[in-house]
Amino acid sequence: MKAIFSSFVMIAALGATIAVSQARTQPPDALLLSCRGEVTVRRTDGTAAPGAYGLPLSAGDEIRTGPGAEAEIHFQNGTWITVGASSSLVVRAAGGPVPGRAAPEAGEAFASVQSFLTLKDAEGVSTLAAIRSGSAADDIRLEAPCRTAVRGGHPRFRWSSADPSTELRLKLYDESGLRWQTDVAGTSAAEYPAGEPPLEPGTIYSWTLETTDPLRVPPVRTPAGFFEVLSAAEERSLDTLLAAAEARRAPSESARRIVRASALFGYRLLDDAVAEMRLAIEADPDNAALRTILARLYAETGRTVEALQEYNRLIERR
């Protein structure tokens, strides 16, 4: 068990290293977060590029839209501008179309979105192409929480099973060993009881499911799912960030969900980010970048079957 915990810590440390590296990169002045129809970005050096989802924009860049086209731009100071059909807009410095100081949480939200959108990069797509879902005979798969953080000390566990009536034993471990267990059948979810002591921030927990039917030999046992609990300070900071994002209402539902998913991802709440991305896709179902991000999130949380399903949808739409 200690070896498994060590591996998880190494993965978390790698993620932190990547985040620090990204934070040191000079952020753009704005991001193109929606692009419908003919949209062109003319750079300050005279070159032109077609508009693309998540395209970084710098001061002096001009966004031009054709007939029937539209572009949504998210600025460093948290403001939004929609460029309508047959229009143009020049990006200014100081974080927005009108110079002004951004609130600290606006800059954090913008940085979160910028980092989050790297999940759509081509390198990520090739990584997804190499995913294999494992044995086709796997009957039970953990869904959440896996490789994520959770809010509150009484998480809800979810899984999928080929036969929901299968009798299972859920075991929860902390770094000292078995913390709690319960037997379940006829369901795909279980709550850590409110009467149990809350799980503590700063501890890495793991959980597994195994069959209990003595006639099933050998018994089936899932790989472990890992998670941690956000601290109270992190929860307060996240709530402030989300409230600030809602106050600067995004012009479309898909953009709003992207901003929320980015904030949740920045606080390691990957399962919550998955839920927001699914809502973003409902609002903008033809956006391949959103599906790529969702597939990456599924892969990050170990849900390789769902990751492959999203990746296959991307292939079918090409």
Same-domain pairing of 193 and 55: no
Write out pLDDT tens, residues 1-17: 444 444 344 334 434 44
Question: Number of folded domains in the chain?
Answer: 2
Q: Over 60: is that where the pLDDT of 112 sits?
A: yes
Strand partners, 229: 150
Higher pLDDT: 12 or 41? It is 41
294: Cα separation from own chain's centroid:
7
Answer whether residue 13 is part of any domain: no
Domain end among 72, 102, 132: 102
Same-domain pairing of 142 and 285: yes
Same-domain pairing of 214 and 128: yes
Position 34 confidence tier, pLDDT thresholds 50, 70, 90: confident
Q: Over 50: is that where the pLDDT of 167 sits?
A: yes
Same-domain pairing of 228 and 274: yes
CA proximity to 74, closest of 217, 318, 250: 250
Domain end among 102, 132, 165: 102
Position 272 confidence tier, pLDDT thresholds 50, 70, 90: very high
User: The whole model's pTM is what?
Assistant: 0.73
Q: Which two tokens stand for residue 82?
A: 């929609």
Same-domain pairing of 84 and 229: no
With beta carbons less than 8 A apart as the criterion, state whether 270 and 300 touch. Answer: yes
Q: Are strands 225-229 and 148-150 parallel, antiparallel or unpaired?
A: parallel
Domain end among 51, 70, 102: 102
CATH number at 113 reads 2.60.40.10
Q: Which domain holds residue 86?
A: 30-102
Answer whether residue 7 is part of any domain: no
CA–CA separation, 127 and 132 (whole Å): 11
Angle at 241 between CA 239 and CA 245, to 5 degrees: 115
Q: In this structure, what DSSP letter does residue 27 have?
A: P
